[in-house]
Amino acid sequence: MTDSPIANPGVKFPPPFLFVAGLLVAWLIQRRWSYSLLPGASAQPGEIAGWAALAIGIGLILWAFATFLRQRTAIYPNQPATQIVRDGPYRWTRNPMYLSLTIIYLGLSLLMNSVVPILILPIVLLLLVRLVIRREERYLRSAFPEEYAAYCAEVRRWL
């Protein structure tokens, strides 16, 4: 009995929903109990860093999207990939879109001046790995066994 290749990663929801949910839960908690990251007068450096992180995250995700579009492979993790993408930001990280969402999340946390979303971020990332990344990796190992193994040996999951 041979294992047939997996048709697609089988992710049932758009992964950005995890980050939005984390921020929403943090916002709700912050409304009830205020836990500032930086005291009022010193919050300005946090705002500057937050805007910078937002700009970096948006730039990175646009670069990753553009790279996938140029390679004509699926962006959404419920569609089959046509190839392993190794250029653009995929030279340094296997998950630049998720890295960019993490950077955007941290930037928004700084702009909210709240410690709560930062405390929730590990849960968001744990769910991302378990519900999305592991499925994607299993699919890519099935669809492109040798090429994906070589890629994993060369490029880290995050950085």
Q: How far is 131 from 61, CA to CA, in rounded Å?
A: 20
Question: Per-domain residue ranges for the chain?
Answer: 43-154
Q: Please, are residues 92 and 155 in contact by the beta-carbon 8 Å criterion?
A: yes
Structure-block tokens of residue 145 = 């066994």
**Residues 18-54: tens digit of each pLDDT:** 999 999 999 999 888 877 877 766 668 889 999 999 9
What does each C-alpha distance from 131 to 2, 15, 60, 113, 127 come to in angstroms? 26, 9, 22, 29, 6
**Residues 75-117: tens digit of each pLDDT:** 888 888 999 999 999 999 999 999 999 999 999 999 988 899 9
pLDDT value at position 78? Answer: 85
pLDDT value at position 1? Answer: 45
